[in-house]
Amino acid sequence: MSSMATARPATTMRSKRRFSFGWAVLNLNVLLTFIFLYAPIIVMSIFSFNASRQMQVWMGFTLDWYARMIADERVRVAAQNSLVIALVSTIVSTVIGTLSALALERTRFRVKRMYEAAMYLPIIVPEIVMAIALLVFFNLAFTWLDQFFGLKLKFGLGTITIAHIAFSFPFVAVVVRARLADFDRTLEQAAQDLGANEWQTFRHITLPLLMPGIIAGALLAFTLSIDDFVITFFTAGVGSTTLPLEIYGRVRRGITPDVNALSTVMLLASIVLVLGSLLFQRRRSF
């Protein structure tokens, strides 16, 4: 009995040591993750208020870089281009993505699996591959349009918008389809039993219940569009600068507080949009 009583405390002590060691490793992992992920963002945000133009020395707090950013004509043009592209691509992507989700979830057709696989390709394929594919596509399309119809088209805001639609609408479809997976179809059946036709049922029952997912997908598409650099870089033309391209051009000349200020503003906008998307996804109307 005494030997068993002595063995139990020893086993308990070993278990406590293992538990405390695992807890320490887990806490260290969390700490390192936060450092690697958020330390650069925090440093960038802090030095966007630095009174000195040099990044190495802190010379005091100032808002001059934000004032200069607002007054900069190139930044205003780039911001306007980014907003126009993001708004147009978001609207079109939301419509296509919602219709695609409804088609995949509610209907059956021969090429359903093929369409589903093709729709998920922009999510799976690396962005650089997508950018090169779009570049080749636009070059071929412009060449054929010039040869057969005499249309001389060039890269610009239009090509960027089409490219953003191509990689954004699958994300909308995924979000809306997840909403459809939890949809209670008895509500639609009840509406039809009361005399509503398919359009009335969709307008008054289906669409309002899907709206949180649709808005979440739209916010996600807007965030992806306004933050995109790689695809925009390959599909942009002369004079079609967006905010990411403007930041890239300035960084090539050196990292300065005005670049930090512009990046911080874009970061805050992205955080707000992502949080909004997450809040809408968590809403449950049914």
- 127 with 22, same domain: the answer is no
Euclidean distance between CA atoms 74 and 68, whole angstroms: 11
Give the per-residue pLDDT at 134.
Answer: 93
As a whole-number percent, the residues of the chain with pLDDT over 90 amount to 26
Strand partners, 61: 50
- 4 with 126, same domain: the answer is no
In a domain, 168, yes or no: yes
- Both structure tokens of 166: 């191509």
In a domain, 122, yes or no: yes
In a domain, 54, yes or no: no
Give the per-residue pLDDT at 9.
Answer: 58
Give the per-residue pLDDT at 92.
Answer: 96
- 81 with 16, same domain: the answer is no
- 138 with 5, same domain: the answer is no
Give the gyration radius of the chain's Cα atoms: 26
- 24 with 75, same domain: the answer is no
In a domain, 2, yes or no: yes
- Domain range for 253: 64-282
Q: Which CATH number goes with the domain that contains 152? A: 1.10.3720.10
- 112 with 4, same domain: the answer is no
Q: How far is CA 111 from CA 102, 107, 115, 119, 171, in A?
A: 15, 11, 6, 12, 20
- 189 with 87, same domain: the answer is yes
- 3 with 105, same domain: the answer is no
In a domain, 189, yes or no: yes
- 10 with 117, same domain: the answer is no
In a domain, 194, yes or no: yes
List, for residues 133-191, the tens digit of each pLDDT value.
Answer: 999 999 999 999 989 888 888 899 999 999 999 999 999 999 998 888 877 777 777 87
As a whole-number percent, the residues of the chain with pLDDT over 70 amount to 89
List, for residues 203-216, the tens digit of each pLDDT value.
Answer: 888 888 888 889 88
Our count of domains for the chain comes to: 2
- 231 with 168, same domain: the answer is yes
- 129 with 25, same domain: the answer is no
Average pLDDT over residues 275-286: 65
- 162 with 261, same domain: the answer is yes
Q: 15-24, 97-106, 170-179: which range is least confident on average? A: 15-24
In a domain, 125, yes or no: yes
Euclidean distance between CA atoms 270 and 264, whole angstroms: 10
The three state secondary structure string of 182-204 is CCCCHHHHHHHHCCCCHHHHHHH
Give the per-residue pLDDT at 128.
Answer: 92
